[in-house]
Structure 1
Amino acid sequence: MASTEVERKRGQLAALAIAAVVIIVGVPLWWRTTETYRAWLPVSEIKELAKLQLQLSVDVEVVFARGTLTPEQQKKVPLTQTEDEEHTVDEDTALRYRYETKYRTATIMEEDSLKQPTAAEADLSLHMLSENPCGSVVVYVIPESSSLLPEDVAVYIGQRRTAVLRIGADMRVGKTLPQLLTHLQPRVKQVLQVMSFSHADITAALSDRVRLSPGNKESMAGSMRAFKSSPGYEITFSLLNPDPKSHNLQWDIEGAVQSYIQPLLTKLAPVANFSIDSQILYYAVLGVNSRFDSSLNAYTLNADSLAHVINPVEARLGSSAASSNPVLNFLLYVPDAHHSPLYIQGHRKQHVPSNAFHSPRWGGIMVYNVNDNYGPETDFPVNININMAEVMGVFLAQLRLMLGVKSSNSPPGFLVAPCDNAGLADWELDRLMWSRSVENIATATTTITSLSQLLDQIGNIVINDNIAQQVSSAVTALQLAVGELEAGNLGFALQYSKEAILASERAFFDPSLLHLLYFPDDQKFAIYIPLFLPMCVPILLSLLKMASEARQRHRDKNAKKD
C-alpha cells in the first residue's frame, strides 16, 4: 500500500509540474510568438495632421524710384507692414494668407536699371543686381514722367519676380505716406493676384483633403486638366505614320527636345524629375473616320469624335510598366495621302488654328498636314522633313497646361512679358510651386491619416519597423513643410512636401501590410486548438481528479473531528 501511495503522489506531482510549465511557460511563449508585431506609430501627431491649418506667407517689397515720393514722405521709409487674410475653403478648413510688405527707396544701381530703354531690359538688369528668393515679389514704383512703360500701360510684369508700377502725379501730391500706401494697396494686390498664388489654385490643391462646395468645384475645372503632383513624369513623343509607302517622315526629335522642351524641364527641376523618350509608329491610324468637306476641299474631324481617338491610339503606344510615374503622351499624326489634308473642327464648326487637341491628364495630339500634290512621275515614298518649330510650339503649350502652369488673366492696364526660351517665367514657377507644395501636403496628410485609421481598425496587420520609420518620416516632413510655408520659404516647403508624399506612399503601399491581414484571432485558435487539446485533456483530467481527492480528504478529516 505504501508503494501505491508513493506512486500516486508522484503522478500528482508530475501532473502539477506539467500543468505549471504549460501555464507559466508554454501559454505566454505561445501567445508571444504568435502575436502580430506592431511597431510604435506617432498616433497623436497623425491625429493633429487632420486639424492642420495652413498659413501661406509672401514677402512683398515695394521699391520707390526717384520722383515718386515727396521729401516729407521719403523721411518715413523704410517701413514694414504685415497683413493677414483668412479664407474659408469649406466649413472645416480655413487658410491664412500672410503678406509682409516692406517699403524702401531704390538704390543708385536700381535707379540706373530703371533708366533702361525698355521694361524688358530693365527687368533683366534688375535681375542681374540681385536674385529674389522663391515666392517673393518686388514691385518697383516709377513716376508718371518715366518713359519706361508705354502710356497705356500701368503695370509691367516681367520674366522674373519683379513688376514695374507707374504712379500718377495726383497720387502723391498732398498725401501723407500712409495715405499713399493705402492708395497703392489695391494695385499691389492686383500684382500679387497675377504673380503669386490665387485662392482658386490653393483650393484646388486642397481637393484631396477637403469636401468641396459647389463654388469651389467650379474653380477646380481648370485644374482637372493638369496631372496630379508626382515626384516624376515620363514624357513620350510619338510620330504616327499611317502611310509609310507614300511618306518617309523625318523628324529631328532630339534636337527639338533640346531646343524647346529641355529648357522648360530644367526650370521645372525643383518640382519634379522628367524622363523623355520617342518612337515612330508605322501603319498607326486614329481609329476615327474623318468626313470630307467639299467647301474646304479637305477632310475634317469633329470635336465630338475626338474623345474616341485616344483608346485605339493608346493600344499602339506601349506601356510604361517599368515606372510608376505618370506618362504624358504627345502624338504627331501625319494623315495618309487619301485623307489629306485633315483639319480639326471645334464645337462651332470652326477650324482649330493649331490643328491639335489635348486630353486632360493624358496628353496631346497634333495633326500635321503635308503637301500631297504629287505628279505621276513622283518617286514614292516621298521624303518629308517635319517643321519641328511648329510642332514643338503646340506641344510646349500643351505641356505647360498639363503640368499646371496656368496663364493668369491680367487686369486692364497690365502688360505681361512673353515667355523666353525657357517657356516659363520665374513667377509662374512660383505659382506652380505654391500649388504643388499645398497639394503634396494635402495628399500626404490624407494618405497618412487613412493608413493610421486602417491600422487602428484592423489589429492583425503587421506594422514592421520600416513602415513605422516611413510614417514618422512623413509626419516630420509634413510638419517641416507647414513650418516652411508659414515662414515663406517656398523652396524648402516644396522639398519637404515631396519627401512627405514619398514616405507616406512607401508606407501605405508596403507589401508587408498584407501578410496577416487574413489571419485573425479566431483562425489562430482554430489552427492551434487541435494541436494542444490532446495534450491538455489528460493534464486537465489529472488536475480535476487531484482536486476531487483533496476535497474528499478534507471532508473525511472534518468527519473524524466531529
Structure 2
Amino acid sequence: MAADEAEKARGTRAALSFAAVALALGLPLWWKTTETYRASLPYGGISALGSLRFQLTVPISVVFAKGALSGAQQRRLPFSDTKEEENLLNSKASVTSCYVMTYRSATVTEQAALAVATVEEADVALHPLQEDLLGALTVYVIPETSPLLPQGVGVYVGNHRSAVMRCMPGSGDVLAAVSARVQQIVQAMSFTIDSIATALSDRMPTDTRHPFKSSLGYEITFSLLNPDPKSHDVHWDIEAAVSSYVQPFLNKLGSVANFSVDSQILYYAVLGVSPRFDKASSSFILSAHSLPHVINPVEARLGSSATSLYPVLNFLLYVPERVHSPLYIQDKDGAPVGTNAFHSPRWGGIMVYNIDQPAPEKASLPLRVDVDMVQVMEVFLAQLRLLFGISRESLPEDFLLVSPGSEGLADWELDRLLWTRTIENIATVSTTLTSLAQLLDKIGNIVIKDDVASEVYRAVASAQIALLELASGHLGTAFQASKEAVTSSERAFFDPSLLHLLYFPDDQKFAIYIPLFLPMAVPILLSLVKILREATQSKKEPMKTD
C-alpha cells in the first residue's frame, strides 16, 4: 500500500513537472519565437506633420541709391521690418508668408554699378555684389529722376535675384510706399498662395499649367514621327539642339532633380485622328476637341514610360503625311495656333511641322526635309517650362521682365520652383508616412525592421528640419532636407519586408502549431485533471471519516 502511494505521488510530481515546464518555459518560448518583430515608430512626429503649418520667410534687402531718399528720410531709415500674412488653404494646411526686409544705403561699388548707361548693364554689374542666396531677393531703389529705367517702367526684373525700382514721389510716407511696392515685387519673383495651393493639391486641377508632381528624377524623350517615309526623308540634328537649348535649362534645374534625355525616330506613326480639310485655306485642320484623342494611339508606339522608374516627359515632332499637308491646329475659338503645337499636362507636348511641298512634276520622292531646330526647340522649351510650372504671372503695366536668355530659366524662377517643390515634398512625406502608419496599425503581423524604422525616423527628422529652414528663410537647405525626407519615406514605404503576405496571420499560426502541441498537451491536461480530481476526493474522505 505504501508502494502504491509512493508511485502515485511520483506520477503526480512528474505530471506537475511536465505541466510547469510547458507553461513556464515552453509557452513563453514559443510565443516569443513566433511573435512579429515590430520596431518602434515616431507616431507622434508623423501625426504632427499632418497639420501642414508652413511659415515661409523671404529675406529681402532693400538698397537705396544716392538721391532716392532725402537726408531726413535717410536718418529715419529703420534697420529692418517684418510683415506677415497668414492664409488658410484648408482645414489641414495654412501658410504664413513672412517678409523680412532689411534697409540700407548703397555701397560705393553698388552706386557705381547703378550709374551705368542701361539697366541691363547694371543688372550684370550688380550680380557679383549680391549674396545670391536661394530664396533671397535684393531690391535697388533709384531716384525718380534716374535715367536708368526706360520711360514708363517703374520696376525692372532681371535674370538674377534682384530688381530695380523707381522711387515714386509723394507727400505721404515714402518708406511705406516703397514697402508696398517691394511686396508687389516679391509676389512677382517669389512664391504665390496659388502656387502653394497647387503644390498641396492631390487632385488634378483644370488649369492646363498644372506641373508634373515632384520627383527625384525625370526622363525626357524627343520623338520624330514620320508617318510617310516614302515621301519625306526627314533629318533633325537633335543632339546639337538639345546641347544648345535644353541642356542649359536642365543644368539650371540640376538641384531639383536628375534628368536623362534620349531621342528616337518612329516611322509610319500616325496621330490616329483624321484631320478635316478646309477648302477656304486649302489645308487640313486639327480642332481643339480632337486633340485629346491624338495622344493615346501615339503613346503606344513610344515605349519609354513602361520601362522608366521616373516620370517621362514626351516631346513629339510630327511631320504630316503628304496627303494631309499642310496641317494646322485650331484652338477652341477656331483660330489657328501660332506655334502649331499643343501640350498635355503631366505628359508632354506635340508640334506639327509642315514642309513646303514642291509641285508634283518637280517632286523627287522621298523629299529631303531638314528640320529647323531653332523653331522647334523654342516651342519645346516653352512647353518644358509649362510642364514644370514655370510661368510668369500677370504683373502691373510698369513692370519690365526680361527674357531668361539661353539658359531658359532666371534665378528667381528657379527659386519660385524650389518654394513649391519644397512644400510639395513635405506634403508628400506627410501623406506617405501617415499611410504607412495606418497600414502598420491595421495589420499587426507586419514585421517592422530596424532599418525601416530608422528610415521613418530620418524622414520625420528631415521634414521637421525642412520646416524649420523654411521659417528661417534658408530655401536651399530646406529643399535639400525635403528631398532627403522624400527619399527616406519612399524607402520605408516600399521596403520588401513590409509585404504582409510573407507572414502568417494569427489564425493560420495557431492552425499550424495546434497539431504539433495537441498530442503533448492532451496527456498533460488529462493528468492535471486527474490530479485535481484526486485532490478533491482526498479532501472529502477525512470529512466522511469524522
TM-score (norm 1): 0.94
Contact 2:68–2:167 (8 Å) recurs in 1: yes
Report whether the alignment pairs 1:34 with 2:41: no
Matched, 1:203 2:197: yes
Does structure 1 residue 455 correspond to structure 2 residue 449? no
The alignment's TM-score, normalised by the length of structure 2, stands at 0.96
In structure 1, the residue matched to 2:87 is 87
Is the CA contact (8 Å cut-off) linking 1:204 and 1:223 kept in structure 2?
no
Report the AA paired with residue 232 of structure 1: G
* Local SS of the residue matching 1:55: strand
Name which of 246, 265, 269 aligns with 1:284.
Answer: 269
Matched, 1:236 2:221: yes
Within 5 A, what are the aligned runs for 1:154-553? Answer: 154-168=154-168, 170-171=169-170, 179-208=173-202, 221-222=206-207, 225-376=210-361, 378-516=363-501, 519-553=504-538
Q: Which residue of structure 2 aligns with residue 56 of structure 1?
A: 56
Shift of 1:458: 2.2
Q: Distance in 1 between matches of 2:325 and 2:52?
A: 57
Residue pair 2:208, 2:345 contacting (<8 A) in 1 also? no
Question: Aligned partners of 1:70, 1:377: CA distance in 2, in Å?
Answer: 76
2:159, 2:402 within 8 Å by CA — same for their partners in 1? yes
SS in 2 for 1:239: strand
State whether residues 460 and 517 of structure 1, in contact with CA within 8 Å, keep that contact through their aligned partners in structure 2.
no
State the 1:336 CA deviation. Answer: 1.3
Letter in 2 for 1:66: K
Give the CA deviation at 1:381.
1.7
**1:86–1:95 Cα contact (<8 Å) kept:** yes
Separation (CA, whole Å) in 2 of partners of 1:52 and 1:365: 37
Answer whether contact 1:447 1:508 (CA < 8 A) is retained.
yes
Could you tell me which amino acid in structure 1 is paired with residue 334 of structure 2?
Answer: K
Aligned to 2:100: 100
Instruction: Select between 450-459 and 311-320 the one with higher mean Cα deviation.
Output: 450-459
Task: Tell me the secondary structure at the aligned position of residue 116 of structure 2.
Answer: coil
Q: What secondary structure does 1:133 align onto?
A: coil
- Cα distance in structure 2, aligned partners of 1:552 and 1:86: 82
Preserved CA contact (<8 Å) 2:465 2:478 = yes
Q: Distance in 2 between matches of 1:224 and 1:108?
A: 44
Determine helix, strand or coil for the equivalent of 1:421: helix
CA distance in 2, matches of 1:366, 1:94: 40
Task: Measure how far apart 1:92 and its partner are.
Answer: 4.0
Evaluate the alpha carbon distance shift between residue 469 and residue 489 of structure 1 in structure 2; reply closer, same or farther with a 3 A threshold.
same
Residue 66 of structure 2 is matched in structure 1 by: 66
Matched, 1:152 2:152: yes
- Kept after mapping to 2: 8 A contact 1:53/1:94: yes
Aligned length: 546
Q: Retained in 2: the 8 A contact 1:55–1:95?
A: yes
**For 1:274-301, what per-residue CA distance to the aligned partner results, in whole angstroms no more than 9, with x for missing partners?**
1111100011100100111111111111
- How many angstroms does 1:4 deviate by? 3.9
Taking the aligned partners of 2:310 and 2:177, their CA distance within structure 1 comes to: 48
Whether the 8 Å contact between 1:110 and 1:126 is mirrored in structure 2 is yes
Q: How has the CA–CA distance of structure 1 residues 93 and 226 changed in structure 2, closer, same or farther, with 3 Å as cutoff?
A: closer
Q: Distance in 1 between matches of 2:321 and 2:208?
A: 36
Q: 1:10 corresponds to which letter in structure 2? A: R
Give the whole-Å Cα distance in 2 for the aligned partners of 1:39 and 1:379: 74
Structure 1, unpaired ranges of 5+:
none
5 Å matches for 1:134-145? 134-145=134-145
Quote the offset at 1:544 in angstroms.
0.8
1:223 shift after superposition: 7.2
Partners of 1:462 and 1:516 within 8 A in 2: no
Q: Quote the sequence identity (%).
A: 56
Q: Check whether the contact 2:209–2:389 (CA below 8 A) recurs between aligned residues.
A: no
The answer on whether the counterparts of 1:243 and 1:282 sit within 8 Å (CA) in structure 2 is yes
Conserved 8 A contact 1:65-1:111: yes
How far off is 1:519 after superposition? 3.2
1:132 is aligned to: 132
- Label 1:479 to 1:462 Cα distance change in 2 as closer, same or farther (>3 A): same
* AA matched with 1:358: H
Q: Is the 8 A contact 1:251 1:386 kept in 2?
A: yes
Q: Identify which range, 221-230 or 381-390, moves more after superposition.
A: 221-230
Structure 2 SS opposite 1:99: strand
Partner Cα separation in structure 1 for residue 17 and residue 209 of structure 2: 72
Q: CA shift at 1:221, angstroms? A: 4.2
The reply to whether residue 44 of structure 1 matches residue 44 of structure 2 is yes
Paired amino acid for 2:29: L
Q: Give the 3-state SS of the residue equivalent to 2:110 in structure 1.
A: helix
Q: 8 Å contact 2:249–2:408 — kept in the other structure?
A: yes
Contact 2:343 2:349 in 1 (8 A): yes
- The answer on whether the counterparts of 2:60 and 2:99 sit within 8 Å (CA) in structure 1 is yes
Q: Deviations over 1:460-499 (max 9, x none)?
A: 2221112101111100100100010000000011111111
Distance 2:192 2:342 in 1: 27
- 2:237 and 2:476 mapped to 1: Cα distance? 35
Following the alignment from structure 2 to structure 1, what is the Cα–Cα distance between the partners of residues 256 and 371? Answer: 32
* Amino acid corresponding to residue 115 of structure 2 in structure 1: K
Structure 1 residue identity aligned to 2:73:
Q
1:277 and 1:127 mapped to 2: Cα distance?
35
Q: Provide the alpha-carbon RMSD of the alignment.
A: 1.8
